Structure 1
Amino acid sequence: MTVETAPSEVLRALLSDASLEMTGKDVPALLDAHAGIPPGTRINVTFLESEDLETRREAARTAKALGFVPVPHISARRLRSEAALEELLAALQADGTGESVFVVAGDPSTPHGPYGDAMSVIGSGLLPAYGVRRVSIAGYPEGHPDIDDAELWRALEAKATELARHDLAGDVITQFGFDVDAVIGWIEQVRERGIGLPIRVGVAGPAGIRRLVRYASRFGIGTSAGTARKYGFSLTNLMGTAGPDRFLRELAGRYVPARHGAVRLHFYTFGGLRATSEWLTDFTEGVRR
């Protein structure tokens, strides 16, 4: 294998089994886009406060009916009681959509009920009791605006240990970002700490530059002028759209499977499910040529 062909081969491996994200209200968008999404794709269903349980259930059921693997989110701090968690898990189990879930602390600074973080949900023991077999947890290559790095690392290590204790498979889905240096450095730290879980690197699908910057600001993601230029857009010109082409090619050029372990991609569909899936199909076909 020559040096010239290595990045493309690695990029193809990274792109295989990429996952997508939708909200409960994106069912019409999923129906519109599904023909261009590979069967078996993992599709995360977010847990928005503005959406009720039935809306989330319908999204997960639709994803399954279309031949995808639904991954419903569980937002720990939005759960008002243990009964609410059990109601959610029971509903997912009844629908056949609850084998894989993504557990995250969630946005509220004050928990609405007894679960203050993802660890408390995982540690409850309720997930396997309701048929959950795989749990995704969150990773933050560029840190979190409200949590210091030491606490983030303690939490990640504790959750990985707790998943193993409950005999649950798992992976880590990272927040999106624009800085490959941060992503690669973070993955190396994960492995140095003995965490062997597969990692899905969060990637912003193609979207308007203004929207990308707005989301980055909301989640505490760095958008320095240098990083923005490297990614492919300018902070002085927010018109137009940007895709992750450069980011993915650089990531592939620096990803060493023997060193970094299992790594795949998770796309945040800020520009819409169809736009992201079509971009992903075109980009993947271009890499294969």
Structure 2
Amino acid sequence: MTAASGIAGSVVIADHSFEITGKDAAALGDMTAHFAPGTAVNVTYLASESLLARVEACQAAQEHGFRPVPHLAARRIADEVELRQFLSALRDVGANDEVFVIGGDPAEPHGPYDDALALIRTGLLQEYGVRRVGITGYPEGHPHIDDSALWDALEHKIAAATEQSMQVSVTTQFGFDAEAVIRWIELVRRRGIIVPIRVGVPGPVSIRRLLGYARRFGVKSSAGIVSKYGISLTRLVGSAGPDRFIDALARHLTVEHGRVLVHFYTFGDLAATAAWVSARKERI
């Protein structure tokens, strides 16, 4: 596929989304100057935060004109009662239109849901009014799951949600190699998967912190890979932004790649991501 002229730079930044935790909710009022009304705000499912904190974060996102997308971590949910309780609370505040379903960190599930697919197959999302479901993609693979299993899971989750008349999108794990992401998107499309893809991108954050998250999530971070992103492993001072990564996506994306957008992982520094997005928009 050849690089598009003109369109990709604006497309890749258009309709972006970003991620917060419950404690970030208080800062959302300051974000309205940087993010457009209707911007999707993913609310993570942290073990250290209560159901109430997650719901209140979704409510805050709505109150400031954003579109809340609460996460559901399958292996962290103890039973159907807990799942229904969360979905009911989301519906009560009008934050049940779209959810993002992940497996979650625990090696052993806390309840009956082994993975995101099991949760989708319950039919409870549709029962509580969910119309759109986000699922995870892994352009550079997963440290504990082989590639064939990842492809099977992706296809089965899309099929299960589609059978329940829910729209599906895929948000990828973050990485440092835009070319690897492009190759993965091309493989997705060759498999006949046409759902929108949001490419996970780290917001500006300290280099040490960013590499720490990479180790935690099994993201490839060899010297050669991170150098493409603008990081030197011999000089771990300062911060790193996604400029090179976004520019590389813009150079390679074409209409043949389908609908491809960006999702920002803010890693606790929402203000830095917001400032970067505002500055980037001014360049387009």
User: Which TM class, normalised by the smaller chain length?
Assistant: over 0.9
> What is the match of residue 208 of structure 1?
206
Kept in 2, the 8 Å contact 1:128–1:166? The answer is yes
Kept in 2, the 8 Å contact 1:178–1:247? The answer is yes
Write the distance in 1 (CA, Å) between the matches of 2:44 and 2:197: 19
Write the distance in 1 (CA, Å) between the matches of 2:246 and 2:68: 25
- Aligned-residue sequence identity (percent) comes to 53
Write the distance in 1 (CA, Å) between the matches of 2:144 and 2:57: 30
> What is the match of residue 71 of structure 2?
73
Question: 1:271 deviation in Å?
Answer: 5.2
Could you say what secondary structure the match of 2:168 adopts?
strand
Query: What do the CA deviations read for 1:127-152 (whole angstroms, capped 9, x no partner)?
Result: 01101000000001111111111111
Question: 1:33 deviation in Å?
Answer: 2.6
Question: 1:67 deviation in Å?
Answer: 0.4
2:48 matched to 1:40?
no
> Which amino acid is the alignment partner of residue 141 of structure 1?
P
2:281 matched to 1:284?
yes
Could you say what secondary structure the match of 1:170 adopts?
strand
Question: 1:7 deviation in Å?
Answer: 4.8
Question: 1:193 deviation in Å?
Answer: 1.2
2:119 matched to 1:121?
yes
How many residues are paired up? 282
Kept in 1, the 8 Å contact 2:172–2:198? The answer is yes
Write the distance in 2 (CA, Å) between the matches of 1:270 and 1:69: 20
> What is the match of residue 220 of structure 2?
222
2:283 matched to 1:247?
no
Consecutive unaligned residues of structure 1, counting only runs of 5 or more, are none
Kept in 2, the 8 Å contact 1:80–1:114? The answer is yes
> What is the match of residue 233 of structure 2?
235
Q: How does 1:83-232 map to 2 (within 5 A)?
A: 83-232=81-230
> What is the match of residue 275 of structure 1?
272
Structure 1 pair 138–26 and aligned structure 2 pair: CA distance change class (3 A): same
Question: 1:8 deviation in Å?
Answer: 4.5
Question: 1:228 deviation in Å?
Answer: 1.5
Could you say what secondary structure the match of 1:119 adopts?
helix
Question: 1:164 deviation in Å?
Answer: 1.1
Kept in 2, the 8 Å contact 1:7–1:252? The answer is no
> Which amino acid is the alignment partner of residue 277 of structure 1?
A
2:241 matched to 1:266?
no
Consecutive unaligned residues of structure 2, counting only runs of 5 or more, are none
> Which amino acid is the alignment partner of residue 90 of structure 1?
S
Write the distance in 2 (CA, Å) between the matches of 1:251 and 1:105: 27
Kept in 2, the 8 Å contact 1:17–1:264? The answer is yes
Write the distance in 1 (CA, Å) between the matches of 2:5 and 2:161: 33
Question: 1:263 deviation in Å?
Answer: 0.4
The TM-score, its normalising length taken from structure 1, stands at 0.95
Kept in 1, the 8 Å contact 2:28–2:64? The answer is no
> Which amino acid is the alignment partner of residue 19 of structure 2?
E
Kept in 2, the 8 Å contact 1:30–1:274? The answer is no
